[in-house]
């Protein structure tokens, strides 16, 4: 999981999954890909069409690389919005003073 630079706030919408959940998801993707590879290899043994056998063997040879790349691809969560640091030019309310405190009643 990528760490954010010190001092930069973390928004809850961009927090990734826990380490255990991330590892479990990676293992699941890897096992699915390797299971599909095994099916391709076994099917290549029993298929009688030459072109289908070649396609299945190529898939069985390429899938380990694809499975490792898929397993190593971490999940990064980003909402696409940057936090504004400093003045944005938008109008803001002025800072209040202690004399502005309300005694508990609404005043207009």
| Portion of the chain with pLDDT greater than 90, in percent | 20
- Condensed to tens digits (0 to 9), the pLDDT of residues 91-102 reads 777 777 766 555
Element containing residue 63 per DSSP (H, E): helix 50-72
- Going from N- to C-terminal start, the domains of the chain cover 26-77
**The pLDDT value given to residue 58:** 93
If you average pLDDT over residues 26-37, what whole number do you get? 89
- Nearest by Cα to 44 from 66, 63, 22, 25: 63
Q: Hey, CA dihedral for 45, 50, 56, 58, is it positive or negative?
A: positive
**The pLDDT value given to residue 20:** 86
**Residue 36 and residue 63 in contact, taking contact as beta carbons nearer than 8 Å:** yes
- Spatial distance between the Cα atoms of 69 and 89, rounded to a whole number of angstroms: 44
- Predicted confidence band of residue 35 (pLDDT cuts 50, 70, 90): very high
- Condensed to tens digits (0 to 9), the pLDDT of residues 41-81 reads 999 999 988 999 999 999 999 988 888 887 777 666 555 56
């Amino acid at each position: 999981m990528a760490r954010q630079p010190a001092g930069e706030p973390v928004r809850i919408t961009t927090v990734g999954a826990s380490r255990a959940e991330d590892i479990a998801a990676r293992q699941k993707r890897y096992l699915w890909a390797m299971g599909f590879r095994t099916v391709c290899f076994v099917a290549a043994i029993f298929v009688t069409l030459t072109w289908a056998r070649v396609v299945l063997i190529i898939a069985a040879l390429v899938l380990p690389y694809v499975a490792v790349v898929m397993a190593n691809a971490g999940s990064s969560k980003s909402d696409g919005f940057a936090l504004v640091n400093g003045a944005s030019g938008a109008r803001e309310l002025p800072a209040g003073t202690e004399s502005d405190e309300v005694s508990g009643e609404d005043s207009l």
